[in-house]
A = this chain, B = another copy of it.
Amino acid sequence: MIVTMRPDASEDEADDVIALLRGDGYELHLIRGAGPVAIGVNGRPVGAELPTLLCDMPGVSHVHQDKKPYKLATRGVRPEGTVVRVGDVEFGSGLPAIIAGPCAVESRDQVLRTAEQVRVAGGVMLRGGAFKPRSSPYSFQGLGEEGLEILAEARAITGLPVVTEVLEPEQVDLVASYADMLQIGSRNMMNVPLLRRAAATDKPVLLKRGFAATIEEWLLSAEYILAEGNDNVVLCERGIRSFDAATRFTLDLNAVPLIRELTHLPIIVDPSHGTGRRELVAPMSLAAVAAGAHGLIVEIHHDPDAALCDGPQSITADVLTEIVSRVGAIGTLLSPIEPLIA
């Protein structure tokens, strides 16, 4: 059961609800920050009269009960949707937000140059990996803290907030001290200790879908973060594994309208990993936005064929400029589609 307070409810009103529930011995999960306070109640079955009682308390907006295994992430908790803010950037409101940058931080020069291209092209955030998860121990594993410093310098110059991946719990504080948003990568979607540690910072979290995770498992991973009290979570569809090697992954755009129906959290799409082929990034960017995505995260490189990782799926600044322009046009066109989607 979830109790959602009204946007204009006072702290005292929320505290009264909390006190009543704690007094009855329930375990509570509080979510606040990105919208009205929501109070998750679990631990044991709820008495039949409790929902009505709560509804009548001052400041309570509504009480939500369903059988979904994720409780705090379910749409009913915040039917109007959560807006996640990273600096001035908003996910879940307005036109789609476009994040761009290199797969990996390779050098200061590369990142500063690319960040400037992102800004000029109309991207609103910078991505780039300082710690890289690689299948092989013999592949480039990232520059580490040096990479984080480069990203921070790029932010200082361009004004673009930075999102970068964190690979292990012990790294979280270090990465959070540089980044504006923490990325949990596809391979770590079910890494619970990492989810919990990232949630415990005050940073928004970009949670990529595991490449073989069901929608329900993905939302349960988000639930781990929400249950720690951090509701600044943006979901990212980035392709699932299928039987066909024609593309690196199968970008599952069905997930976009489905996620919008099931949860209040915003969703963006990664067409670079989701296709693995440079020529497909532009059309699939447009498709993602037409399906209802709140943003994109795209890999660009000033010289894709020389990239240390993911060269085949990196686009140039020119293509990014074109994507930003067309995504804006589609986003404007579709803003009245909301009622059709959810």
Contacts and interface: CB of A to CB of B under 8 A. Distances in A.
A203 B223 CA distance: 34
Contact of A214 (B243, B253, B290): B243
A342 interface: yes
A281 B304 CA distance: 36
B243 A254 contact: no
A188 B187 CA distance: 8
Contact of A284 (B212, B220, B253): B253
A334 B340 contact: no
A258 B241 contact: no
A246 B258 CA distance: 9
Interface residues of A, number: 77
Contacts of A216: 135, 246
A251 interface: yes
A138 B42 contact: yes
Given A137-B224, A282-B337, 20 more contacts: A135-B220, A136-B223, A137-B227, A167-B192, A168-B194, A170-B170, A187-B190, A211-B212, A212-B212, A212-B241, A212-B243, A214-B246, A243-B243, A244-B252, A247-B258, A254-B280, A283-B337, A287-B288, A289-B290, A326-B337
Interface of A: 42, 69-71, 133-138, 167-171, 187-188, 190-194, 210-212, 214-217, 220-221, 223-224, 227, 240-247, 250-254, 256-258, 261, 274-275, 277, 279-280, 282-284, 286-292, 319, 322, 326, 329-330, 333-334, 337, 340-342
